[in-house]
Amino acid sequence: MIRSPSSRACSSADRRRSAVAVLFALAPLLAASPRSPDTIVSRPYPIVAYASFPGGLFHWIDSLAGTSAGKTIPAHREEYLRRFGPLTDEDRRQLRRFVAARADHRDRAHSTSAMLGLFCGSTSVESALAAVKPELGESAYEDLAAALDWFRPKYERVWSEGRIPQAFLDGLRTDSGMRRLEKILARMVRFYGVDPKASPPPRIALVPVPDGYGTHAEAIGDVLLLEIRPGESLAEQASVIAHENAHFLWGLVPKERRARLAESVRALDGGAATTWSVFHEAIPTALGQGVADRAFREREWSMDDDWYHTRDVDRCAKRIYPVVRAALDAGDELDEAFLKRALAALGGGAAVTPRAP
């Protein structure tokens, strides 16, 4: 809450003390203020990235509240317990307010991720609140603002001036692997058969996650939330960047073509709709955790590792991986012929046990 300044006159000494107090009050805001987004990739289309305090704060509270879709909820909860101790009664009350605001926005926007995307795409918590206010009921907005205000001082300690995501960004500027990533993205553009330069560039909102756990990434429109662990480089995140950019490129495919591809899968698969729905994640997984991860971490890469957190997608991605890799090598497009080859690789459905290529 912002209090009104006092209207009484003050001496020069009072003014100096007041100025110092203002600087101390503004310090957390200045520390959390964003730097200009970095264009980490310019070819075959621009991709910008930035350390996102608003996205990090929202995602952190989302994880504490259990309303996040993230796989790293335990990581953030255990870090909270380690740093700040058990949740207090007031902590729990503020989390309930956050959950209520989250539900209000979900029901109004008909989306569980839209509010997260708004915070990830905003330059400050205040601008995110201003943008989301028309999309919430009055009490829901008050609940959200209060919860963010309550947890913000603690998250500023976790955020630590954005050191972890900013170190990752700084490392990209001299990472020789960036050229390799550009080549993979160029092959993916040909595969999806779209023109990404005709659309706003994808944005990557980087937030920290404790070491010793996995990471979570979530695409919301053209914004990607990407968790970064201390000391990580492009090699650890190239697969995720490729995976989520596959979703971005698929979103640029015209609706008519998407409908035609879906119908071809149903026709080839005896009318089943499940395989097509699995393909939505399995193809990006084969591109990211298959093609890209192997290109960056060939020694550590393995088909025995989990590529995706659900069994059906994981199995499907591994079975179609050789087909996806061959299509990229040949410059083929995601069309009916590709889908026919992918279905043949499944050998009877998306849940077949995968084989190594």
Task: Give tens-digit pLDDT for 90-136.
Answer: 999 999 999 999 999 999 999 999 999 999 999 999 999 999 999 99
Least confident of 61-70, 161-170, 268-277, 335-344: 268-277
In the predicted model, what is the mean pLDDT of the chain?
88
Give per-residue pLDDT as tens, 157-184.
999 999 999 999 999 999 999 999 999 9
Give the C-alpha separation, 308 to 289, whole Å.
Answer: 8
Whole-number pLDDT of residue 26: 38
Give Cα separations from 296 to 11, 179, 292 (angstroms): 63, 11, 6
Residue 226 belongs to what H/E stretch?
strand 223-228
pLDDT category, 347, cuts 50, 70, 90?
Answer: confident
Give per-residue pLDDT as tens, 78-99.
999 999 999 999 999 999 999 9
In the three-class reduction of DSSP (H, G, I as helix; E, B as strand; rest coil), residue 217 is classed as strand
- Whole-structure pTM value: 0.83
- CB-based contacts of 229, cutoff 8 Å, min separation 6: 164, 208, 209, 210, 211, 213, 215, 236
Decide: 278 and 216 in contact? Cβ < 8 Å.
no
Residue 125's identity, in one-letter code, is V
pLDDT at 60 over 80: yes
Give the C-alpha separation, 323 to 318, whole Å.
Answer: 10
Q: Which residue has the higher pLDDT, 23 or 201?
A: 201
Give the C-alpha separation, 168 to 228, whole Å.
Answer: 8
pLDDT category, 36, cuts 50, 70, 90?
Answer: low
For tokens 């829901």, the residue is 140
Give the C-alpha separation, 132 to 185, whole Å.
Answer: 33
Give Cα separations from 148 to 103, 126, 141, 245 (angstroms): 16, 10, 11, 30
| Alpha helices, DSSP H, located in 193-251 | 234-250
Residue 18 belongs to what H/E stretch?
helix 12-32
Domain map of the chain by residue range? 53-160, 254-357
Whole-number pLDDT of residue 272: 73
